Amino acid sequence: MTELHELPAVALQDQLRQGKVSATEAAAHFLARIEQQNPLLGAFITVTADQAMEQARAADRRRPHAPAEELPLLHGMPLAFKDLTDVAGVVTTHGSAALDHKPALSDGPLAALLRERGVVPLGKTQVPEFGLTAYSENRIAPPSRNPYALSRSSGGSSGGTAAAVAAGLLPFAPGTDGGGSIRIPAAACGLVGLKPGRGLVPAGESLGDPARLVVAGPIARTSADAALMMDALVPVPESASPGRGGGEGGYLAGLKEEPPKLRIGVTLDSPWSGTFPFSPEQEALEALEAGRKLLEHAGHAVAEAGIRYDNRYPDAFTTAWTAPVGSARINPHRELLLAPLTRTFRRRAQQRSPAKLFEALAFLRTFQQDTLTQYAQWDLMLMPALAQTPRPVGWFTGTMHGADRWPAAQWPGDADGDYRKQCEYAPWSSMVNVCGLPAITLPVHWTGGHAGQGVPMGIQLVGPMGSEALLLRVGNQLGY
């Protein structure tokens, strides 16, 4: 008999809406898996078992009084929010030891939206401090680990969420992405991660976002599950024309449509190459070749695309990305509790003039237009999701040999080395946020040769504005 955590999210959703599985059964099942596996995995910072069971019982009480078609789309579905998102009555830590950890007074926009859709939150997942990094390690809870290799990181900043979904602690979950924070952990954990385009989904919570980088989107095991999450995040208005939301009826219904034959440009070019020259690992190139073959077998035309990026990008992006941490409200007496990278970025942000930030934002707008013009020659852009295999826990911070000991009393203070490693690890992520474009990662390759063997490696497909449904259809066409 198939256990609940083995069901695709779309199948579990159907069983919950039909009453074949109760919300209480689903919540209890996933909470038991969290209790069993989280001590090794580090996916959750906070588990809200009592609140979850209370909300699940309330959902079950509503169910007999409403036919299935009148229930919320995600009636009784268990999920969790990363610990940058406010959930009423639950502490939001932002992954930081420097903040007072007080329960949130109300739901943030993302939690409020999904609560309206009927979800049952089980807790808060592990994040890096303020969501700043491509790994989910901090000073307040054990690091989030990769379910396929516990010595390795699950990525970041939605690393705890991705680890939980990959390990079957959640059927699927929302992440937020301001520089790769959905796609990086999804790729590291062998999942489908979709970053929607700018403005489509209510903004992901952050300390501030002057460049409008952050957006919420799904982390899921399949494109179909991701499409279901998108239907919850982007409800289809009754007045919408056919094609809105991936086809008449929504993103999930739109998967019934085969995508058209596409012209896809493949590239290894990155805007970080001038500042941080890097060479993709062989596993990244193998993933790219696997993705290319799958796309060509599906009938798409894939050809080399040379993209030119302005070498001023790294400085401008870093200025915009780190500006919010400079203005965060942190008691001066507690700043020493910040991780070295956060403390360094905060100091530099505070030393910059407003004119420097304005200049960086103006450059990024120009960079966006130039990049969009080049991408417009193709229907989609193809590149590796990551340049390296999932990194060992502690590798970025230089605490690899003491990663099992937390909180790390003295993390090395090499913030610039840490940041450089991140940019070399995920060099094709942040420019997608700057351009406001949709992008999807697909787990097309495993280093052991077969799914579940070794560690996963993926590809990233980037589309024009409004192509979320197309990206999901392509992912579904390729079998993911």
Listing DSSP states for 388-444 in one string gives SSPPBTTTTTT-GGGTTS-S-SS----HHHHHHHHHHHSTTSHHHHHHT--EEEEEE
Bridge partners, residue 64, by sequence: none
Choose between 406 and 253: higher pLDDT. 253
3-class secondary structure, 140: coil
Q: Which of 61-65, 92-96, 195-199, 417-421 has the lowest mean pLDDT?
A: 61-65
Rounded to whole angstroms, the Cα distance separating 213 from 196 reads 11
% the chain with pLDDT above 70: 93
Task: Judge whether 144 counts as a catalytic residue.
Answer: no
Q: Which fold has domain 129-158+166-477?
A: Amidase signature (AS) enzymes (3.90.1300)
Catalytic, out of 96, 144, 157, 223:
157
82 is catalytic: yes
Residues 388-408, mean pLDDT to the nearest whole number: 79
Q: Which of 158, 181, 223, 430 is catalytic?
A: 181
How do residues 30-49 score in pLDDT, each as one tens digit?
Answer: 999 999 999 999 999 999 99
Beta bridge partners of 149: 146
Q: How far apart are CA 171 and CA 79, in angstroms?
A: 7
Kindly tell me if the per-residue pLDDT of 276 is higher than 60: yes
- pTM of the complete model: 0.95
Q: What is the pLDDT of residues 132-170, one digit of tens each?
A: 999 999 999 999 999 999 999 999 999 999 999 999 999
Mean per-residue pLDDT over the chain, rounded = 93
Q: What pLDDT digit, counting tens, does each position of 224-268 carry?
A: 999 999 999 996 554 343 333 444 579 999 999 999 999 999 999
**Mean local confidence (pLDDT), 334-347:** 96
Task: Verify whether residue 421 is a known catalytic residue.
Answer: no
According to the model, what pLDDT value does residue 163 have? 98
